[in-house]
Amino acid sequence: MEQCVKLLKPFEEITKITSSGLSCVSEVIPHIAALKKYLDKNETEQRTPDLPHMKATLKAELESRFSSLNQDPNYLIATFLDPRFKTNYLGVIEAERARQKILLEHIKMSCDESSLSSDSSSTPAKRSREEENAGSAVSREAHDTFWDCFDEVAYENSGSQLQDQEKKNSIANEIDFYLKSVRIDRNQDPYKWWSANKRQYPVLSKFVRIYLSAPCSSVYSERLFSEAGLIYEEKRNRLLPVNAEKLVFIYHNLPLVHYEY
């Protein structure tokens, strides 16, 4: 029994960490990697010599339950964007996959923004072409011949390709600068770090709000439902849903303002 307690101690610690209100989905891959390393260490084998089958079972369960995480872009990007971990817990292929995914998502976001703005105004390339035609010595209306359209298509496409390349270079430089910065301690708050450095990484901070917003387990959400059970009780069975929602919100968030009852 004593050896079982020693062997399962790290699992207990990680369970408590992932069940806290400050847990983040970016912690999952590093925690799994640390547990696998712990089970493979010689020190662990020396402390638990009578539990080889239990260790083998734990390793097999970790592999079967979490092996697919290294293929999930959500977990990869979250780990990549956590200043405590970055690429230290990702393989070369996984780190590059996360990087490429961020680049592609940024280009998609930029294209969506460009398409929205182009609905209300003409593109810079088109305006530039129109100004060039207006100042040309040849006084004729744009698009009056086939070859004007032919040249304009090539001109606009080259301009959009140049803009896409500039956007890709800007986010690539931002990623490189982020990876070269010093990693923070694992006990520090990644949200505070990003809050202090969001101006330095304006593009990456947008992805942080998307990928670092999810907790790494459902415990915190389940705890919220338990709080709702404390609000709805036998003597409050006529409580309106809108009022119950407000009470749960207040009860859940009072610790954030250090309220003392």
**Residue pLDDT, tens place only, 179-198:** 999 999 998 999 999 999 99
Which residue, 243, 210, 206, is CA-closest to 228? 243
Q: Are residues 59 and 12 in the same domain?
A: yes
Asked if residue 95 is part of any domain, the answer here is yes
pLDDT at residue 11 in the model? 93
What is the pTM for the complete model shown? Answer: 0.71
- CA-to-CA separations, 70 to 35, 64, 75, 77, 82, in angstroms, rounded: 15, 12, 7, 10, 16
Amino acid identity, residue 78?
Answer: A
Q: Are residues 198 and 242 in the same domain?
A: no
Query: From CA 18, how far away is CA 232, in angstroms rounded?
Result: 28
Q: What is the pLDDT of residues 14-40, one digit of tens each?
A: 988 888 777 889 999 999 999 999 999
Q: Are residues 115 and 239 in the same domain?
A: no
pLDDT at residue 224 in the model? 74
Q: Are residues 224 and 183 in the same domain?
A: no
Asked if residue 130 is part of any domain, the answer here is no
pLDDT at residue 208 in the model? 93
How far is the first Cα of the chain from the last one, in angstroms, to the nearest whole number?
A: 42
pLDDT at residue 167 in the model? 55
Q: Are residues 50 and 109 in the same domain?
A: yes
Q: With beta carbons less than 8 A apart as the criterion, state whether 117 and 126 touch.
A: no
Q: With beta carbons less than 8 A apart as the criterion, state whether 48 and 55 touch.
A: yes
pLDDT at residue 108 in the model? 85
Q: Are residues 54 and 107 in the same domain?
A: yes
Positions in the chain short of pLDDT 70 = 112-168, 261
| H-state helical runs in the chain | 2-18, 28-40, 42-47, 52-66, 73-81, 92-120, 124-134, 146-180, 190-197, 204-211, 219-231, 241-253
pLDDT at residue 198 in the model? 92
Structural domain span for residue 253: 219-257
DSSP code, position 254: G
Query: From CA 125, how far away is CA 156, in angstroms rounded?
Result: 6
Q: Are residues 243 and 201 in the same domain?
A: no
DSSP code, position 75: H
